[in-house]
Amino acid sequence: MPRRLRWLIPAVRFATESRPSILNSDLDSDQEEKRPDYADIYDALSSIGLLDPGTRRLNEPKLLELSDDIRAHLLEGASLGDSAEIIKRTLRELVIDESGAIPVLDFATIQNARLDKLLSDMLTLGHQQALLPPRSRVDTFMAERLQRLWIARFREKYFSIDQIRHQNLSKSSRLKDIMFNDAATDGWGLWQAEGSETTLSGLESNLQFRPGQYTIRQYGHKQNPKNRLHRIIVTLERIAGQPSMADLAKVPRPSQMDDWVLFEKFEGEMIRQNHGEQSFLDWKVMKAQERMEQQQWRRALEVGAALTTARHARYSYGMRDLGVKQTT
């Protein structure tokens, strides 16, 4: 196996690991049996708003949004969500479309909308649910077929799709017009805008970026005299045009986490190239410490939430018992 592919493959699940190949005759018979739901792939994609009505071209931002939504459901709810049947029918139509002369999905669309990641996440969850009853498992049959067809069509290019994204980070993706600051002496200020001597955090401050503008409508401050803890309550009102808290709570999206993993790999390579092996090892230790602190913080939040729930439950039971005593 080429060396440049080894770093990618362990992170991706392929259909060939879990199910033997399917004969073309089986695929053809299944296509004939289930084709009537949609006139063609364009009808299927139009039904879920993924095609521009005028140009009949794919809407990649909406396709990426749908892919992120499904992957979030797979991660958080171990399911395809409310649109499970639509998703399965669309995957079936994509499988059928692969037998045409020019399939509707090209490599760039698959790459940009993270459809390879979507199939991989579905197959990973399906593998984890292998021992569950069939009705409790994610149906991965069409995902397996579609992945095999893409592998057959794109071959090595499909296996190196993450490497392509990695190479594009500084050219046309998240790090476009961003430069590595090789003068940085620690883990901070490693990146700066091209043509500027100011690091990104300072640049954002100087330009007064305001990503989420809210008006403070009410402010309250109390101190508990027993434990001397301060309690602050702030009521915010969202200004028109600003994202809602529900939308902000979805961040980071699965595709953003994909980019974060690639960014950390890229940053590590830049540190090794510009500062040597020891600085790279120090950076890895710092990242490991950050992850450890994040895990401890999350565990503390979970414990705090559990204690709060338990206190509320005891209070509710106490009030109920008090009510019973008062009525007797």
User: How many CA atoms within 13 Å lie on the side-chain side of 62?
Assistant: 11
Show the DSSP H helices in the chain as ranges: 3-6, 24-34, 41-47, 60-77, 84-97, 107-112, 115-128, 141-154, 156-159, 161-168, 200-206, 245-248, 254-275, 277-327
**For the segment 284-298, what is each residue's pLDDT rounded down to a tens digit?**
998 898 889 888 888
Residue 243, preceding peptide bond in cis (omega within 30° of 0): no
- Residue 215: phi, psi to the nearest 5? -95, 130
Q: Is 184 helix (H, G, I), strand (E, B) or coil?
A: coil
Task: Tell me the C-alpha to C-alpha distance, in Å, between residue 232 and each of 134, 172, 212, 218, 221.
Answer: 49, 43, 20, 11, 5
Q: Is 231 exposed, middle or buried (0-12, 13-18, 19+ CB in 10 A)?
A: exposed
Residue among 149, 61, 69 nearest 113 (CA): 61
**For 133-143, b where at least 16 C-beta lie within 10 A, e where not — what string?**
eeeebbbbbbb
**For the segment 109-150, what is each residue's pLDDT rounded down to a tens digit?**
999 999 999 999 999 999 888 888 877 788 888 999 999 999
CB atoms within 10 A of CB 3: 6
Q: Is 258 exposed, middle or buried (0-12, 13-18, 19+ CB in 10 A)?
A: middle
**Number of residues that this document lists for the chain:** 328
Q: Is 129 exposed, middle or buried (0-12, 13-18, 19+ CB in 10 A)?
A: middle
Residue among 151, 190, 175, 156 nearest 270 (CA): 190
Q: What is the mean pLDDT of the chain?
A: 78
CA distance 183 to 276: 13
Q: Is 247 exposed, middle or buried (0-12, 13-18, 19+ CB in 10 A)?
A: exposed
**For the segment 206-244, what is each residue's pLDDT rounded down to a tens digit?**
444 455 566 777 888 888 888 878 888 888 787 777 777
pTM over 0.85, yes/no: no
What was the pLDDT predicted at 57?
81
Of the two residues 200 and 29, the one the predictor is more confident about is 200
What was the pLDDT predicted at 36?
42
